[in-house]
Amino acid sequence: MRYVLIALALAACQNLDVSRSVGARCDMATDCNERCLTPSGAWPGGFCTVTCDTAASCPESSTCIDEQGGVCAFSCVGDGDCTFLGTGYTCKAVDSHGAGAKVMVCRGG
């Protein structure tokens, strides 16, 4: 009984890391809350994201990059920060959207 309760507690508290807003795998927009960056070399496995104007309009731990009109991607410092997204993702410098500078985000390609 104790093990069942522990298993239930762990299941209830599991860290999902990604969400339908940002980070989930996808093939089409209906897999996400808003839009899907379909599977490609740049976005292996597909990447759920939301449209943004500035970094402030992105969820926590993500920033607005200048791609497809401005989309949110996970911020990073090194490649190790991107391993949770799976094979193909590394930490890259890309143009930010709305700030005119480079930002580091997890991305393929």
- Whole-number Å distance between alpha carbons of 21 and 59: 8
From the CB of 65, what's the least distance to another protein, in Å? 19
Which residues inside 62-91 make contact with another protein, applying CB under 8 A?
A: 84-86
Member of 23, 37, 96, 108 binding another protein (CB under 8 A): 23
Distances (CA, A) of 17 to 47, 54, 96, 108: 13, 22, 23, 18
Contact region with another protein (CB under 8 A), list: 20-28, 50-58, 64-72, 90-98: 20-28
Strand partners for 63: 73
Closest approach of Cβ 16 to another protein, in Å?
6
- Using rule CB under 8 A, residue 8 touches another protein: yes
Q: What gap in Å lies between CA 35 and CA 52, rounded to an integer? A: 11
Torsion-angle region of 6 (φ positive above 0: left; ψ -120 to 50: alpha; else: beta): alpha
Residues engaged in binding another protein (CB under 8 A): 4-5, 7-8, 11-12, 16-20, 23-26, 31-33, 45, 48, 84-86
